[in-house]
Structure 1
Amino acid sequence: MPKAYVFTRYGGPETEALIDVDRPRPGPGQVLVAVRAAGVNPVDWKLRGGYRRPGEAERDFPAYFGNEVAGVVEETGEGVEGFAAGDEVFGRPVLGGWSQYALLSVDLIARKPDAVSFAQAATLPVAAATAYDGLRQLALPPGATVLVTGAGGGVGVAAVQIARAFGLRVAGVASEGKKDLVESLGAVHVPSGPGWTDRARALTPDGIDGIYDLVGGEVLTEAASLRTGGAALVTAAAPPGEAERLGGARVARAYDNAVLEQVADLVARGDLDPLVTRTFPLERAGDALRAVEEGHARGKIVIEVAA
């Protein structure tokens, strides 16, 4: 039987397990994909801990991990056009992607370019697409300066590079240990920690035109203090109400094929490197999650599934 990595109840790592599951059957508008790679994101351990988005129903257990996958189409459901068995694709799974097989809706799937690896493609539906949506929402003109908090994480690494591809100047807030990483992406490094806003002002003498927050909490509040001259502010790490209180907005996710195609094209052109820094087999999915949960991962962590 196919394998899947799941959590059996809300809690910590003790709730996780690699289990046998039935092979899914695609419904109308769905494709069944043999997973080759799956991305790991902070939301995975947050969901295991009981986090639910507003209005989201209680989940059934065992519950799947994983919100982004890449693989090969095995079977298509009723009404599916434009995709066939053997196509290499990536997207957001219906139930979860840390498994040998996953169902994907044709509304949230795109073809994987030949120049993009499965591991790279598996990082795009959440991290890169979130980065892309937020920068489009800021709508800054070429030559403007954007400040990115959390610039050394998975979304931050993508945001810095996509901003550079859009012709923006970038100041990236990250720990001192990620200075070389941030600067290698073409951004001015702003060391995080107490007093970081003063350092940000000093390092951006021409001012800040937009702020993309990926940390939330106190960092978001401090970032808002840098808004001068009507600088735009968006966050992917705080509730809409908190963002609005500070004069900004929550990132409005597009969740469509067009964004997936755009970010894949950026990778194929060499404008975006997802920086897959570590890979783990499905059998070690727990170790992959620990690497992200501990908060020290550089770039993206990916689970690879053997063919």
Structure 2
Amino acid sequence: MPKAYVFTRFGGPETEAFVDVDRPHPGPGQLLVAVRAAGVNPVDWKQRTGYARAGGAARELPAVFGNEVAGVVEETGEGVTGFAVGDAVLGNPVAGGYAEYALLPVTVTAHKPAGLSFTDAAALPVAAATAYDGVDQLALPAGATLLVTGAGGGVGAAVLQIARTRGLRVVGVASDGKKGFVESLGAVHVPSGPDLAARVRTAAPDGIDGVYDLVGGEVIAEAATLLTDRAKLITAGTTQEAAERLGGARVVRARNAAVLEAVADLVVRGDLTPHVTRTFPLDRAAEALRTVEEGHARGKTVIVVGAPADTGAAV
């Protein structure tokens, strides 16, 4: 039987386990995909703790981890058009992606370009798409300055690159250990820690025009003080209520195939690199999740399902 990595109840890592599952069957508007790679994101372990994504349904237990995958279509559901068995795709699974098979709704599934590896493709549907949606939401003009907190992670690295393609000047907040990484993406690095606002003002003496927060807490509160227009404060690092108290808002996700196609095209054109820095086989899914849960991952972590040769990545 196919394998999947799940959490059996809400809580910590002790709730995680590998289980045998039935091979899914696609319903109307769905694709059954043989997973080749699954991206790892902070939302994965947060859902294990009982966190419910804004606008999302509560997870049924046991629940398969994972919110972004790339793979090959094995079967199509009723009413599906534009996809066929054998197509390489990327998208957001219906109910988890740390598995050998996943169901994908066609509304948030895109064809994988031939020039994009499965491993890189699996890093796009959550991290890169969230970055893309947020930069669109801010709608800053070319030449404006964007402050990105949590700039060294998967979403942050994508924000830095996408913002640069829009002609923005970018200031990235990250630990000292990620200074070289942030600067390699064309951003001015500001070290995280107390008195952040003062360091940002030194790095950007002409001011900050927008903030894309990925941290929350005291960091977003301090970053907000740098803005004259709080409508240009968005976050994927805290709740809508917390953002509204500061005059800002959560990132509004488009959750459609068009955004997936757009970010995949950016990668193929060389304007966006997913920066997959760690890969793990499915049987080491726990290790992959810990690298992200501990908060020290640089770039993206991806779980490889099947032979590494299928994904274009070394494990």
**TM class by shorter-chain length?**
over 0.9
Map of 1:188 onto structure 2: 188
Map of 1:277 onto structure 2: 277
Letter in 2 for 1:305: V
Q: Give me the whole-angstrom Cα distance separating, in 1, the residues matched to 2:44 and 2:24.
A: 21
The offset of 1:231, in angstroms, is 6.8
SS of structure 2 residue aligned to 1:107: helix
Task: Check if 1:143 corresponds to 2:143.
Answer: yes
SS of structure 1 residue aligned to 2:267: helix
Letter in 2 for 1:247: G
Q: Give me the whole-angstrom Cα distance separating, in 1, the residues matched to 2:273 and 2:55.
A: 35
Letter in 2 for 1:47: Q
Map of 1:9 onto structure 2: 9
Is the 8 Å Cα contact of residues 208 and 231 (structure 1) preserved in structure 2?
no
Superposed CA deviations along residues 155-190 of structure 1, whole A, max 9, x for unmatched, are: 000000100111111000001110000000000001
Letter in 2 for 1:143: G
Q: Give me the whole-angstrom Cα distance separating, in 1, the residues matched to 2:15 and 2:208.
A: 44
Q: Give me the whole-angstrom Cα distance separating, in 2, the residues matched to 1:187 and 1:54.
A: 30
The offset of 1:60, in angstroms, is 2.3
Map of 1:73 onto structure 2: 73
The offset of 1:216, in angstroms, is 0.7
Map of 1:234 onto structure 2: 234
Map of 1:96 onto structure 2: 96
Q: What is the TM-score normalised by the length of structure 1?
A: 0.97
Distance of aligned partners of 1:55 and 1:247 in 2 relative to their CA distance in 1, 3 Å threshold: closer
Letter in 1 for 2:29: G
Map of 2:245 onto structure 1: 245
Map of 2:114 onto structure 1: 114
1:48-87 pair list within 5 angstroms: 48-53=48-53, 58-87=58-87
SS of structure 1 residue aligned to 2:108: strand
Map of 2:124 onto structure 1: 124
Letter in 2 for 1:160: L
The offset of 1:232, in angstroms, is 1.2
The structure 1 segments of at least 4 consecutive aligned residues displaced by more than 6 Å after TM superposition are none
Letter in 1 for 2:163: A
The offset of 1:229, in angstroms, is 5.7
What residue ranges of structure 2 are gaps of 5+ in the alignment?
A: 308-315
Superposed CA deviations along residues 172-217 of structure 1, whole A, max 9, x for unmatched, are: 0001110000000000001110111101001112211111111011
Map of 1:41 onto structure 2: 41
Q: Give me the whole-angstrom Cα distance separating, in 1, the residues matched to 2:250 and 2:218.
A: 16
Q: Give me the whole-angstrom Cα distance separating, in 1, the residues matched to 2:167 and 2:223.
A: 22
SS of structure 1 residue aligned to 2:182: helix
Is the 8 Å Cα contact of residues 209 and 231 (structure 1) preserved in structure 2?
no
CA RMSD in angstroms, aligned pairs only: 1.3
Letter in 1 for 2:50: G
Q: Give me the whole-angstrom Cα distance separating, in 1, the residues matched to 2:172 and 2:82.
A: 40
Is the 8 Å Cα contact of residues 211 and 231 (structure 1) preserved in structure 2?
no
Letter in 1 for 2:102: A
Q: Give me the whole-angstrom Cα distance separating, in 2, the residues matched to 1:19 and 1:245.
A: 42
For these two proteins, the number of residue pairs brought into alignment is 307
SS of structure 2 residue aligned to 1:94: coil
Q: What is the TM-score normalised by the length of structure 2?
A: 0.95
Map of 2:209 onto structure 1: 209
Map of 1:221 onto structure 2: 221
1:249-260 pair list within 5 angstroms: 249-260=249-260
Q: Give me the whole-angstrom Cα distance separating, in 1, the residues matched to 2:117 and 2:223.
A: 35
The offset of 1:62, in angstroms, is 1.3
Letter in 2 for 1:113: P
1:259-274 pair list within 5 angstroms: 259-274=259-274
The offset of 1:75, in angstroms, is 0.6
Map of 2:19 onto structure 1: 19
Is the 8 Å Cα contact of residues 235 and 249 (structure 1) preserved in structure 2?
yes
SS of structure 1 residue aligned to 2:91: strand
What residue ranges of structure 1 are gaps of 5+ in the alignment?
A: none
Map of 1:154 onto structure 2: 154
Letter in 2 for 1:284: R
Map of 1:295 onto structure 2: 295
Distance of aligned partners of 1:229 and 1:247 in 2 relative to their CA distance in 1, 3 Å threshold: closer
SS of structure 1 residue aligned to 2:82: coil
Letter in 2 for 1:28: P
Map of 1:170 onto structure 2: 170
Is the 8 Å Cα contact of residues 89 and 111 (structure 2) preserved in structure 1?
yes
SS of structure 2 residue aligned to 1:34: strand
Letter in 1 for 2:219: V
Q: Give me the whole-angstrom Cα distance separating, in 2, the residues matched to 1:306 and 1:23.
A: 16
